Amino acid sequence: MIKKAIIGMILFSAIFYFILTQYFGDVQINKYDSKAVVQQEQAIERGWVPGIIPDSAFEITETHNLDTNILVGSFKYKEEDEAKFMEVLTTVPDMNQTYTWKNFLFKVDTEKKRVNFRNKPTS
């Protein structure tokens, strides 16, 4: 009887811990209308948005988890900024159209004028 109670308490504690860490972790989602708003919110300085986003960037989103240090985001841009933006990116070999700049990785969809980005894994 006591053994079952102890096992039950351990299971309850494990489930409770899982719920707390998965659903109430330090995850923050931010949306910005333009690069000017990104700069005003200091998202570039905080490392949440790459400093090379084009001046025409809009519909900018970023999600970062302070516990795991994982950052993902996206933005759209206008065609006039595409060539200048692509010039500063470096192709990552063997990663299927993936580009890099500093500690960020990028997937660029030139047809939709949309960029997905994430921070590079730390390991």
In a domain, 7, yes or no: no
In a domain, 36, yes or no: yes
In a domain, 9, yes or no: no
pTM: 0.78
In a domain, 85, yes or no: yes
Would you give the DSSP letter of residue 7?
A: H
Domain assignment of residue 50, given as a range: 26-119
Kindly state the tokens that stand for 88: 């500063």
> Distance between CA atoms of 86 and 20, rounded to whole angstroms?
41
In a domain, 10, yes or no: no
In a domain, 60, yes or no: yes
- The total number of structural domains in the chain stands at 1
Report pLDDT digits (tens) over 3-62: 666 775 676 566 655 554 566 568 889 999 999 999 999 999 999 999 999 999 999 999
Report pLDDT digits (tens) over 99-108: 999 999 999 9
